[in-house]
Structure formats: C-alpha cells, structure tokens
Amino acid sequence: MFKIISLTTVLALSLVGCASVPMESLEKSNDAKQFSPPSDGSAGLYIYRDSFVGKALKKDIWIDGKCIGESAADVFFYEEVEGGKEHKISTESEFSPNDLMLKVEAGKNYFIEQFIKLGVFVGGAGVELVEEKEGKAAVSKLDLAKKGTCSE
C-alpha cells in the first residue's frame, strides 16, 4: 500500500511543475500579439496552450507533417500557411486522435488550442479550433515560443 501511495504522490508532484521550452524575444512575442493580417495568399495559425492541466508536460506540434515546435504551458506559436487549402495540425498524444483538419482562407487568422488530457500515468493531448475572440484573449496572455524543435 505504501508503494502505491508513494507512486501516486510522485506522479502528482511531477505534473505540478512547469516545463519550459526555448522562447522568442519579448519584442517578437508582442509583434505577434498585434494579430496583423497574414501576408498575401496566406492564412495565419496561432497555436497555443493555456491550461493548468499538464504544466510539466511538453508536446510536439506539427503542421502538415512539419515540426512547428515543442509546446509547454503558457506558450503559443504563430505560423503562416498557404490560404485556400486544407492543412493538418497535429500534436503528439499517447492514447487518442490528435489531428485537426482545417481548411483556411487567405488573409484570415485562426486560433487553435492545444489541450492536455491526463491519464493514469501519462498525458495525452489534442488540438481544437476556437473562436477568434477566445483565441485572441488567450494568446494575449501568453509568450511566443521558438519554432523548429520537436522531441521526435
């Protein structure tokens, strides 16, 4: 019984700490939070993680199979993609579907929330499209992470 209680305590404590990832400068972060229209022919994707659950976990994010970066709590990424096309936004997860297929219009910004789902021993993740107002409110409180580093 003591081993089970000890394991549960260690697991709980490991999920309370905060993971960190490489961050962009404050200037770049603030520029991205201006929510300017994307460049001609492109759509903008804001992918963010703003939840208390799973703060100790880092999760990879990909767009169309390309590594965008490794997320942590309270960070966002901004990426421009070709407008007028469907794109696949993915995150690593241990036990559930983790892809979002999204057809985007050129000249428009989209907001995608990465969320963490906790299991018995490990956390899974998912991504979902959110309304612009909700996405802007969340991203304005977060910091811009550096792109290009994934764990896998």
Q: Which pTM does this prediction carry?
A: 0.84
Q: Where do the structural domains in the chain lie, given as residue ranges?
A: 2-144
Question: What pLDDT is stored for residue 116 in this prediction?
Answer: 84
Which residues in the chain come in under a pLDDT of 50? 2-17
Q: How far apart are CA 2 and CA 121, in angstroms?
A: 18
Question: What pLDDT is stored for residue 102 in this prediction?
Answer: 98
* 3-state secondary structure (DSSP) of residue 43: strand
Per-residue pLDDT of 41-76, as tens digits, reads: 999 999 999 877 777 788 999 999 999 999 989 999
Question: What pLDDT is stored for residue 12 in this prediction?
Answer: 44
Question: What pLDDT is stored for residue 35 in this prediction?
Answer: 98
Question: What pLDDT is stored for residue 21 in this prediction?
Answer: 86
Q: What are phi and psi of 120, to 5 degrees?
A: -65, -45
Evaluate the CA torsion angle 141, 66, 21, 49 in order and state its sign: positive
Question: What pLDDT is stored for residue 11 in this prediction?
Answer: 44
